[in-house]
Amino acid sequence: MVLKLRWLIPGIGIKRWVLLILGGITLLGVGLAVLLLDVYRTTPDTWWLPILSYASLRFLDRTLRAIVFGGLGVALIAVGIMGLNRTLLKPFVRPGADVIETVSEYRRRERGPRIVVIGGGTGLSALLRGLKEYSRNITAVVTVADNGGSSGELRKNIGILPPGDIRNCLAALSKDEELLTQLFQYRFGASAGLNGHSLGNLLITALTELTGSFEEGVAEMGRVLAVQGDVFPSTLHNVNLCADVKLEDREVEVQIEGESQIPKIGGKIQRVWLEPASPAAFPPTVQSILNADLVIIGPGSLFTSLLANLLVPDLRDAIRASRAAKFYVCNVATQPGETDHFTCNDHLKTIERHIGRGLIDVAICNSNYGGSLPEGIDWVKLDPAEEMGAPVYKSDLLDVENPWRHDSEKLAKTVMDLYLERTGPLNPRDSASQL
């Protein structure tokens, strides 16, 4: 009985349909009862009338008869609905998983806030991995300026947009992430004749050629992997990231072209820009930002991931126009060749210098510096003596096993707690009563 009642717990969208089915069956039963009553009263005495009288329990009080037949009807309906749901959901539920828990979790995440995350690299994947436990309405926005490694080779030789960051996000948002991550990140050796390409990049490339467009290929890959959200490029234009870099040993400034080359030059990055300078944003990306409840910038490489996205004018304007809460997640540790000796203040100032002030509502910084970092990497700390362009929230976000990275669960919980503090326990779309 307890198992049957669990189908009636709030939020899983079952009660409304159960009541609708019960109403239909009740009307059907009333119609059948009227017909039987008419037959019973108008039909001459025959041999089967006593049998019908006995089967209708006429020897019992009418109230008791109603309870017996009603109870049996409810029991049969409950068993039938449970059996039907288990049969229909069996292909979509993992073996051994509880059907009710699976449906309840799906419905809870389906009503989660609309979240847009703008970033790149392992930082973005870590955040997505945690956020998918709170919402299915997630959009990851990644740059297409990557020109190094497998992505760069495919971009140069085949002419498609770089799929590397998109591949990582698809894996992070998938249901069976552990297996898919290993599969997607698998790289063929040089002896295979595939020049170290990852399997995920090759799959996205193949789907791009089969569907005729990069965005449709990514969408098809998301459907194949049952991804819980969307992964969009910031633009569909073939853009390059350029930078002015000051070489400290020679006190001269040079221009560098190519996202993969910028951190290798070994100087201090003065500014970055895109070529062409004003690429049009991918329309679904802009629409997702305008409809978002929460926009998160970061984590990710400051110059080569975050700014490579934010320098797309339409995307930047959409963030300013959006009524969503806007959070910036600062990196845990510095990135050699890109943010050496940077503080949290430096990260935010760099963003403001490139795209202006007032874009971010809250900056989230790590407060745990207890791990051991590799040589050449420093903690990104908040300097209380310097002004920050936005309110700052500090929390333990450290991944104990990899202290230069964010912990997925800690970061996602911190972000969602801050969001709920600003908006309340319910998303506006959930304010209507749930039957």
Specify the DSSP class assigned to residue 402. Answer: S
The answer to whether the CB of 408 falls within 8 A of the CB of 414 is no
Confidence (pLDDT) at 329: 95
Domains belonging to the chain, first-starting first, are 2-109 (no CATH), 111-143+234-430 (3.40.50.10680)
For residue range 30-43, list pLDDT tens digits in order.
887 777 777 767 76
CB within 8 A of 368, min separation 6: which ones? 396, 397, 398
> Which of 101-110, 136-145, 413-422 comes out lowest in average pLDDT?
101-110
For residue range 169-199, list pLDDT tens digits in order.
888 888 765 666 677 777 776 655 566 677 8
Crossing angle of helices 313-321 and 283-290, in 10° steps, is 20
Q: Is 88 exposed, middle or buried (0-12, 13-18, 19+ CB in 10 A)?
A: exposed
For residue range 385-410, list pLDDT tens digits in order.
788 888 999 999 999 888 899 999 99
The answer to whether the CB of 202 falls within 8 A of the CB of 194 is yes
- What is the mean predicted confidence (pLDDT) over 121-142? 90
Nearest Cα residue to 207 out of 167, 153, 150, 156:
167
Higher per-residue pLDDT: 290 or 180: 290
> Which of 8-12, 122-126, 202-206 comes out lowest in average pLDDT?
8-12
Higher per-residue pLDDT: 309 or 32: 309
HSE-up of residue 395 (Cα within 13 Å, Cβ side) = 19
Q: Find the helix or strand (DSSP H, E) in which 240 lies.
A: strand 240-247
Using CA atoms, how far apart are residues 10 and 366, in angstroms rounded to an integer?
A: 36
HSE-up of residue 104 (Cα within 13 Å, Cβ side) = 10
In the three-class reduction of DSSP (H, G, I as helix; E, B as strand; rest coil), residue 160 is classed as coil
Strands 268-275 and 240-247: antiparallel
Please identify which residue in the block is written with the tokens 């400290």.
Answer: 248
Reduced 3-state DSSP string for 242-305: EEEEEECCCCEEEEEECCCCHHHHCCEEEEEEEECCCCCECHHHHHHHHCCCEEEECCCCHHHH
Using CA atoms, how far apart are residues 365 and 345, in angstroms rounded to an integer?
A: 10
The answer to whether the CB of 329 falls within 8 A of the CB of 296 is yes
Using CA atoms, how far apart are residues 385 and 369, in angstroms rounded to an integer?
A: 19
Please identify which residue in the block is written with the tokens 């221009």.
Answer: 255
